[in-house]
Amino acid sequence: AKAPVTVTVTGAAGQIGYALLFRVASGQLLGSDTPVRLRLLEIPQAVKAAEGTAMELDDCAFPLLTGIDITDDPRTAFDGVNVALLVGARPRTKGMERGDLLEANGGIFKPQGEAINAGAASDVRVLVVGNPANTNALIARSHAPDVPADRFTAMTRLDHNRALSQLSAKLGVGVADIAKLTIWGNHSATQYPDIFHAEVSGKPASELVDEAWLAEEFIPTVARRGAAIIEARGASSAASAANAAIDHVYDWVNGTASDDWTSAAIVSDGSYGVPEGLISSFPVVSRNGAWEIVQGLEVNDFSRQRIEASVQELTEERDAVAALGLI
């Protein structure tokens, strides 16, 4: 039998945590032949709620789940971790300045980066879900100098999946008929969902829709989908965010299809003019357990301006956390 993989989930008592943990424990994150050991990290006042979730996990009697530890100490949570899902973050509350938001998240992601640096397994993979996800990942990464930079990623897979769903509905085709969509930039309202390289049953998607639909319907609908869900559901998206986290890690570990790619925010190597070191979303494939940026795509003017605007926002967030001494 395979050795258990240690999966740490932060913010484990939250909404996304509740939608995520059962799927991890059932084998959907790493495959049905891989036992999982869960570590749940929470802030002290939420540890009791995390214990309640752990009781329900026990009651599922998942054959792959070999143990659950619950802690409020990052060092304990990340000791020996193989897969770190950083979900807990400080959300922006009404009237909060951006500097305060970044500072509060620095207080969370700096110690977590340090704890990952100190104790993680040599194959550790980190996915940041908690917002502002790209910049939180940058903070954690910068406090984990001994961990290869490419192990720190942030989630844009939900944006990618939303874009797939919107395009499939518009064209009346199945999501499986669409390949090579891309989310570029920041996981924020400036993100750019790009269909110019996408294929629908092998045909260019850009021949099937017009630019007005892209600019006025598709892009804003994908970017504002989170707000639309809050409006309809009275609570933020949680199951779909958890689903995207599962997709991201599953593909990272198992690879992407040979004739397709996906989107993930990874450390830039300077490709497509994105400053080196920023954690920005790109078209990516996973090969041999590592993400690679898809190279050589032609970027038209429509796309170029939108990618640049989102990357500009990431640059400003990076400069702001640098000014606060957080990276």
Name the residues that contact ligand NDP, by CB under 6 A: 10-11, 13-17, 41-43, 46, 87-91, 108, 129-131, 133, 158, 226, 236-238, 241
Least Cβ distance, residue 310 to ligand NDP (angstroms): 16
160, 187, 197, 248: the active-site residue: 187
Least Cβ distance, residue 11 to ligand NDP (angstroms): 3
Instruction: Give the N- to C-terminal CA distance of the chain in Å, as an integer.
Output: 41
Paired with 5 in beta bridges are: 36
Least Cβ distance, residue 107 to ligand NDP (angstroms): 9
- Helices and strands (H, E) in the chain, number of each type: 11, 14
Least Cβ distance, residue 213 to ligand NDP (angstroms): 24
CA distance 223 to 229: 12
CB under 8 Å to 4, separation ≥6 — which residues? 34, 35, 36, 37, 66, 67
H-type helices in the chain, by residue range?
A: 15-26, 47-59, 74-77, 98-119, 133-142, 157-171, 211-213, 219-223, 225-233, 239-254, 301-323
Residue placing its CB nearer to ligand NDP in the complex, 64 or 101? 101
Least Cβ distance, residue 62 to ligand NDP (angstroms): 21
Residue placing its CB nearer to ligand NDP in the complex, 142 or 206? 142
Could you give the angle at the alpha carbon of 28 between the alpha carbons of 164 and 21, nearest 5°? Answer: 100
Could you give the angle at the alpha carbon of 9 between the alpha carbons of 115 and 320, nearest 5°? Answer: 60
Residue placing its CB nearer to ligand NDP in the complex, 237 or 262? 237
CB-based contact 191:156 (threshold 8 Å): yes
CA distance 228 to 235: 10
Query: In the bound complex, which residue of the shown chain has the CB atom lying closest to ligand NDP?
Result: 14
Residue placing its CB nearer to ligand NDP in the complex, 99 or 289? 99
Residue placing its CB nearer to ligand NDP in the complex, 200 or 223? 223
Residue placing its CB nearer to ligand NDP in the complex, 129 or 327? 129
Measure Cα distances from 21 to 12, 30, 174, 175, 307 in Å.
8, 13, 28, 26, 34
* CA dihedral of 14, 16, 18, 24, whole degrees rounded to 10: -130
Least Cβ distance, residue 297 to ligand NDP (angstroms): 26
Nearest by Cα to 184 from 274, 56, 61? 274
Residue placing its CB nearer to ligand NDP in the complex, 10 or 268? 10
CA distance 158 to 229: 13
Residue by residue, DSSP assigns 78-109 as: TTT-SEEEE-------TT--HHHHHHHHHHHH
Least Cβ distance, residue 115 to ligand NDP (angstroms): 10
- Whether 187 is catalytic is yes
Task: Enumerate the active-site residues.
Answer: 187
